[in-house]
């Protein structure tokens, strides 16, 4: 594939994303000479699966919470992704590789020449061993699941606490509730307004009534730089389990109470029909870290995550590029119903 790279002001070759995707979808693009390449699209990236590796290409997108609009910004994000993910996924994140334009104007993976983009190179993991698929298949391996929970709990225990005033932490949680409610209340979201108001009011009342429970999390150094997106599809139950896709593009999203993050995993496991898996991760964390959060606090966190996942589902519904909007509309309603069920356990008196 021969390209005619125009130079931007920063000297970056202007190669359309479609051309990069077309090139990277072909087996001859890769040094391992795979028999086949599978291209998977997400909202923020393309992932190309060869027989043995996965290559991730960031889309040139800009949002309120991230900026991938230039090659240099994407390079920095690739670097951050590799560094951040290695502790929880040793041996998986192999490094970065440039997509270059050769002297003849052809795209090439690696080598010398003007850089058209950067990719993260990973060792490919078996799809059927990811926790979400294992749950759906009814084949969750007990020993590997416990090992994954122990790896995560040790990661939390070793993480450096983030110093934060109690009032600041409570303000962060209040802002989180109010921002999510405001987003979901937009008319185009088409969600039940009374249900939204009830859930948000209960969450805010919890913060008023149970200040001590919330303040203790900051006072006892439970706020850390966590994973940021702990869902079953990011946990691979290979013999030495790994946890991938740590959220790299916005550090503030990783600043969480460890119990808060585990609540997201619990919500997603419950939604897949395996509540016991989420409980296992919480129990292992409690044993290794000597941290047993109050049930009402976990219910609060779970209700907040259910609302957040509702927001993500709504974004998919409103995205003109998403085809299966009925699936995402149903997911949004399901998450909101779960949030309402969780607030029933907030001990509001």
What CATH number does the domain containing 93 carry?
3.30.200
Mean pLDDT of 79-106: 95
Q: Does residue 163 share a domain with residue 84?
A: no
Q: Kindly state whether residues 153 and 92 are assigned to the same domain.
A: no
My answer on whether 88 and 105 are in the same domain is yes
Average pLDDT over residues 183-209: 96
**pLDDT for 298-314, tens place per residue?**
999 999 999 999 999 99
Query: Does any domain span residue 5?
Result: no
pLDDT at 103: 80
Strands (E), 107-171: 107-109, 115-123
Give pTM, 2 decimals. Answer: 0.93
In the chain, % of residues over pLDDT 70? 96
Q: What is the pLDDT of residues 34-84, one digit of tens each?
A: 999 999 998 899 999 999 999 999 999 998 889 999 999 999 999 999 999
Please indicate, yes or no, whether residues 53 and 155 belong to a single structural domain of this protein: no
3-state secondary structure of 169: helix
- Asked whether residue 25 is assigned to any structural domain, the reply reads yes
Enclosing domain of residue 60: 17-124
Model pLDDT for residues 107-143, shown as the tens digit of each residue? 999 998 899 999 999 999 999 999 999 999 999 999 9
> What is the pLDDT of the chain when averaged over all its residues?
94
Q: Is residue 156 part of a domain?
A: yes
- 74 within domain boundaries: yes
Give the dihedral of Cα atoms 12, 13, 16, 19; nearest 10 deg: -130
Determine the Cα–Cα distance for residues 52 and 27; give it in Å rounded to an integer.
12
Of 106, 124, 142, the residue at which a domain comes to its end is 124
- Interval 130-177: pLDDT, tens: 999 999 999 999 999 999 999 999 999 999 999 999 999 999 999 999
64 with 136, same domain: the answer is no
């Amino acid at each position: 594939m021969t390209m005619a790279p125009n130079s931007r002001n920063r000297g970056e070759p202007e190669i359309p994303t479609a051309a990069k995707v077309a090139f990277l979808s072909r087996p001859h693009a890769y040094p391992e000479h795979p028999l086949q390449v599978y291209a998977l699209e997400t909202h923020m990236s393309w992932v190309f699966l060869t027989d043995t590796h996965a290559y991730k290409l960031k889309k040139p997108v800009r949002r309120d919470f991230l900026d991938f609009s230039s090659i240099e910004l994407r390079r920095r994000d690739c670097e951050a992704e590799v560094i951040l993910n290695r502790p929880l996924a040793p041996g998986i994140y192999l490094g970065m590789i440039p997509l270059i334009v050769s002297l003849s104007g052809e795209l090439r993976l690696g080598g010398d020449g003007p850089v058209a983009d950067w990719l993260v190179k990973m060792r490919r993991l078996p799809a059927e061993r990811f926790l979400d698929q294992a749950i759906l298949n009814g084949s969750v391996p007990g020993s590997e699941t416990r090992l994954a929970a122990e790896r995560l709990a040790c990661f939390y225990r070793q993480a450096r606490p983030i110093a934060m005033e109690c009032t600041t932490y409570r303000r962060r949680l209040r802002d989180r509730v109010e921002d999510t409610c405001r987003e979901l209340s937009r008319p185009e979201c088409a969600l039940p307004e009374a249900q939204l108001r009830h859930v948000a009011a209960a969450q805010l009342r919890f913060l008023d009534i149970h200040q001590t429970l919330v303040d203790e999390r900051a006072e006892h150094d439970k706020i850390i730089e966590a994973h940021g997106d702990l869902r079953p599809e990011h946990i691979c139950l290979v013999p030495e389990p790994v946890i991938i896709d740590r959220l790299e593009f916005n550090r503030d999203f990783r600043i969480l109470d460890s119990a808060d993050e585990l609540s997201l995993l619990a919500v997603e496991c419950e939604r897949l029909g395996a509540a016991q898996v989420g409980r296992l991760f919480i129990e292992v964390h409690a044993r290794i870290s000597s941290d047993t959060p109050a049930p009402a606090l976990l219910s609060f966190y779970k209700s907040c995550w259910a609302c957040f996942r509702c927001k993500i589902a709504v974004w998919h519904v409103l995205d003109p590029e998403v085809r299966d909007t009925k699936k995402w509309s149903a997911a949004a309603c399901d998450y909101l119903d779960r949030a309402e069920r969780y607030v029933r356990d907030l001990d509001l008196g």
